[in-house]
Structure 1
Amino acid sequence: MSDNTVNVHAGKKDVIWNYVGTFMSMASNFLLIPLLLLFLSNEEIGLWYVFVAIAGFAQLLEFGFTSTLARNLLFCLSGVRKLSKQGKDIGEIAGEVDWHLARVIIRTSKAIYSVMGVIALIMSASLGTVYVDAVTHHFSVAWSFPSWVVFIVSIFTNLYFLYCLTNLRGVGDIAGENKAKTFGRLAQLLITALLLMAGFGLMAASIGFLSYSTIMRFVANHIFNSHREVQQGLISDTTFIRRTEIKEVLSTVSFVAWRDGVVSLAWYGATQAMSLLCSAFLGLAETATYSVMLQFATAVHYFSSVYMHTYLPSFQSAYIKGDSQRQRDSVDRGMSCYVLMFLACTLGVTLVVLPVLPLFKPDFICNPALYLTLSVYYFLLNQHSLYCQFIVSMNEIPYFKAYLVSTIAGVALTCLLCGWMHWGVWGLILGQAIPQLCYNNWHWPQYVYKKIGGTYIQSISTGTRWFVKNITEVCKRRH
């Protein structure tokens, strides 16, 4: 049987641009930190991270549809003629693309994000405003109210324009997705820096955040339209898209998407929500210190996960086509790269970056021991999350209940340690870490290896040897 499907194979360009995109995302955040420290008060910095935490909460309305829609579009381009709620239907895999189904998925995607954006706008303007009003004592912090108004608009655009990135991820264009993000981050950094220096205070950060989504959307649409094979295929289908077809796709993808949304909610509770808990229990000044350390730990995770994320579309395509060896290679190489990069980056932040921060603001001190403890928690949390991404790539999501239970237990324990026992920031970290250690941290890596064969130690060892071999060969060729 001939294969007229779209080939999805990650290449060097995708790896390089994924690193560039991740680096620019981190660099923009890192460069924003000294700018915020120089131009804003501790209360303004703490309020900014409250804004960011609320934006993260609004993103939960995405409820797992981004990865689910992108995955199903990729399945369609790999030959799937009918979407399945779980797994794959071998009888519905062909050697050519059903372009009408692809059009229905894309149309469904845009409709979903438009509804999400409007809901986020309403919730932010009502409940979000009440919360910000409370923590700022009726918007007493400089520039707080107009900055919040602009930020509400950016919450809408960040959600609605997700359809652009979903399209690129769905065609396996990791390079294009990261180009769009990179140009967006550059615009955000430049505009924020200029407005901060012009004296716009917190408003500068809000306008910069809005510029990110606007520029990202323009670049992403341009790149998606440059995929000639896909565009010609989409244009070749002129059949009218019925509402029943959109409802059918929505019903199918919702089965995994809402479960993935529960996972996103649990993930928010285990990460970004801690900034809200910190502001509630410890105040804005301590929230600023904690949030900066959390931002570094998050950046280390993103950078360490780049290689694995680059090959995730390839893993999904291999799953549909039954290529088990390519699946194992993706897990071995992706996870070994994550472990090695996380250790190296954490060491660099602890020894080089943290000691420099007091130079920008003398009263802004980050405890290295506290940061290392936070990093251990983040390493284990993100590691099992990456294994779960391999699981959901096979169109199943057995872990959503465990995520929800662990997060509820974590929030309850955090409130106990911070509110009743007064453990401060240590209570935030340990309260979240202990429930995760009880199950998620070790169970889901084991689950993956039962599926593909092997063990954690074997996988990391195999992947490390592959990297060492390839690096050695490159060095020999250069000499």
Structure 2
Amino acid sequence: MAIKINKLDVMWGYLGVFLYNGINILILPFILVILPSNELGLWYTFIAIAGLAALIDFGFTTTITRNVSYAWGGATRINKTGIVRENTSEEPNIKLFSEVFSVSKLIYLISSTIILLLLSTIGTVYIISIVGNSMEKSYYLLAWGIFVIAVFMNVYYSYWTPVLKGVGAIKQDYQVLVVSKLFQLVITVIGLLLGYKLLAVVVGYLIGNVLRRVLSKYMFYSYEDIRALQGKIKVYNVSKDDKIKTFKLMWPNAYKQGAMSVSKFMTSRFSILIVSAFLGLEISANYGLTIQLLGLLGTISTVFYNTYLPYFSQLRLRDDKEKGYKYFTMAVGIQTTIIAFGGLLIIFLANPILELFGSQSTVLPLLQTFGLYVFYFVHFNQNIFVSYIVTANKMPMYKPYIIFAIVVVIAQFTTVYFFSEYGIWSIILSLLIVECIYNGWKWPVYVIKDFNVSITKFYIDSIHNIIKLVKRRNKLS
């Protein structure tokens, strides 16, 4: 069954991703005024730890989405690597879909249990070490305990997201994001106004995650394509042997995807933990706020691409390079445009706006913010090319990702320890230099060569396809 992406899917995508990744932006006017810098820094540390914890799914989210798309597109089976194109049907392979779905539920049960154990032990020790002998230590630990439960619940039910996207229920998945994050926003703001400070933020995070998972299940079973096939889906009771077989087929690329996910975190987000430990919570608040804004910008810039991601997987299944090139160049052009103009707004306007709100924290000084912006520009650019490579169920980049993730962490520890007088600059330069050595340019060039065009032509076509998209939307409106 072909996945169809329309204008509403993309619109809900932008709104959903903005709320999902920008929830802290929306509550900034409240938390920046109400939360002291040390509590804001602690909250950014919580977020960083949650991001690391989410990687314990070891790449299965992307792998499941891709394999659900293959099954929904009529693939006869899945391979350890590459795509099986022979005998592809126009109708969903319900048996294969049921196997992938059943395995995903088991995977996330195991993943969430591991996360709970790690955060309850190692995570708690880390939090105790950074809060020290603060008079509010017990209050911080209570907030941490609630946050751990929220992360556990979030990961436990995470299989609904790749399944929804894989069958083409893109709009429904983003609608769930919007509703759950609006609830989180309302609960958090009310709690902050009542004086519960950090506790209000973590309780809002917990309720938002639980609601998201409940709504995801409802959306899945109410999705029109699922309703039409629900009887057939229920027929297949997946056996233990089928689960083991499907797991073995998914695992080779899943562990590579997981290694890449961990590497991306180590490259772009691990630095906040180093800043918290070596430079203090107040500096980490400024640093965390800066990377939050830049990270949100990067995420918004890839909404168009991520909305079409299941479609890209099906185009790969059908070996339709012409459409693949058309929509991918469009996605790259949109990403580049958003990051270019959005970055300038953050660099020059973020602090004046924060000062207007009377914020207790600001983004980093202009030159440091610009340095981080350049890093994130390169980082998000190569990420979209890497993601496109993975739609072919191949991952030639996973070893370089691991190597350079280790290099960047060592570089950050080394520079912040031996050159602490340079402060945040020691972190920024480490990130930027290591990213540009290899991964930052290698994978964009790899994809462009695969399309058999020059780099110049690729980016000219990116601009041209955006112009055509805008003209078409204007005609429709």
After TM superposition, the score normalised by the length of structure 1 is: 0.95
Q: Which residues of 2 match residues 254-333 of structure 1 at below 5 A? A: 254-333=251-330
Q: Which residues of 2 match residues 106-117 of structure 1 at below 5 A? A: 106-117=101-112
Alignment CA distance shift 1:112-1:464 (3 Å): same
- Once the 2 structures are TM-superposed, how far is the Cα of residue 54 of structure 1 from its aligned partner? 1.0
2:159 aligns to what SS in structure 1? helix
Q: Structure 2: which 5+ residue stretches go unaligned?
A: none
2:413 is aligned, of 412, 415, 420, to 415
Native 8 Å contact 2:29 2:359 kept in 1? no
2:165 is aligned, of 164, 169, 178, to 169
Amino acid at match of 2:369: Y
Native 8 Å contact 1:161 1:213 kept in 2? no
Alignment CA distance shift 1:49-1:20 (3 Å): same
| Structure 2 CA distance for aligned equivalents of residues 361 and 401 of structure 1 | 46
**Is residue 2:135 matched to residue 1:146?**
no
Q: State the superposition RMSD in angstroms.
A: 1.7
Q: Which residues of 2 match residues 388-399 of structure 1 at below 5 A? A: 388-399=386-397
**Is residue 2:94 matched to residue 1:99?**
yes
| Structure 2 CA distance for aligned equivalents of residues 137 and 453 of structure 1 | 57
- Once the 2 structures are TM-superposed, how far is the Cα of residue 252 of structure 1 from its aligned partner? 0.8
- What is the match of residue 423 of structure 2? 424
- What is the match of residue 3 of structure 1? none
2:91 aligns to what SS in structure 1? coil
1:90 aligns to what SS in structure 2? coil
| Structure 1 CA distance for aligned equivalents of residues 255 and 134 of structure 2 | 36
Native 8 Å contact 1:67 1:166 kept in 2? yes
Alignment CA distance shift 1:131-1:140 (3 Å): farther
Q: Structure 1: which 5+ residue stretches go unaligned?
A: 1-5
Native 8 Å contact 2:33 2:359 kept in 1? no
- What is the match of residue 438 of structure 2? 439
Alignment CA distance shift 1:97-1:476 (3 Å): closer
1:346 aligns to what SS in structure 2? helix
Amino acid at match of 1:377: F
Amino acid at match of 1:118: T
Native 8 Å contact 1:278 1:287 kept in 2? yes
2:354 is aligned, of 338, 354, 357, to 357
1:96 aligns to what SS in structure 2? coil
Paired residues in the alignment total 473
**Is residue 2:154 matched to residue 1:155?**
no
Alignment CA distance shift 1:79-1:427 (3 Å): same
Alignment CA distance shift 1:42-1:8 (3 Å): same
- What is the match of residue 378 of structure 1? 376
- What is the match of residue 125 of structure 2? 130
After TM superposition, the score normalised by the length of structure 2 is: 0.95
| Structure 2 CA distance for aligned equivalents of residues 172 and 397 of structure 1 | 24
Amino acid at match of 1:391: I
- Once the 2 structures are TM-superposed, how far is the Cα of residue 159 of structure 1 from its aligned partner? 0.5
- What is the match of residue 219 of structure 2? 223
| Structure 1 CA distance for aligned equivalents of residues 148 and 277 of structure 2 | 21
Percent identical: 26
